[in-house]
Amino acid sequence: MCREEVETSNHLFLHCKVAKDLWGLTFSLFGCHWVISDSVKNHLASWKGGKGKKDPRKTWKMALLCLMWCLWNERNRRFFEEVEMPLFCLKDHFCVFFIFGSWRSTLCM
């Protein structure tokens, strides 16, 4: 997607500069610090969430799914349609998708 390295799942979803920006946004939304894993498999395994009265695991998993969905859609847009969404618009789409559960943002369309 970034055209800087060979596109592997690890690069696309974790190490690409676009992915890193979206991960940074996600972590800041939750007020946490995180080290990106070396592989998607290890990263998914580390997203277990916490325990307590209000279990954040569902919210974490939703954020993870939204982020990966946004990255995959943007990758396909760039590859198949040769259209690149600006990063700030991609961040807006992620927030709308995550918060409202819908890809209906009219921002940057």
Distance CA 13, CA 16 (A): 7
In this structure, is residue 106 part of a structural domain?
no
User: Which residue range forms the structural domain that includes residue 70?
Assistant: 9-44+55-100
Report if pTM > 0.75. Answer: yes
In this structure, is residue 1 part of a structural domain?
no
pLDDT at 49: 55
* pLDDT exceeds 50 at position 44: yes
Contact 87/23 with Cβ under 8 angstroms? Answer: no
CA atoms within 13 A on the CB side of 29: 18
* Mean pLDDT score of the chain: 84
Q: In the predicted model, what is the mean pLDDT of residues 57-81?
A: 90
Distance CA 78, CA 73 (A): 9
In this structure, is residue 38 part of a structural domain?
yes
pLDDT at 106: 47
In this structure, is residue 105 part of a structural domain?
no
Q: Structural domain tally of the chain?
A: 1
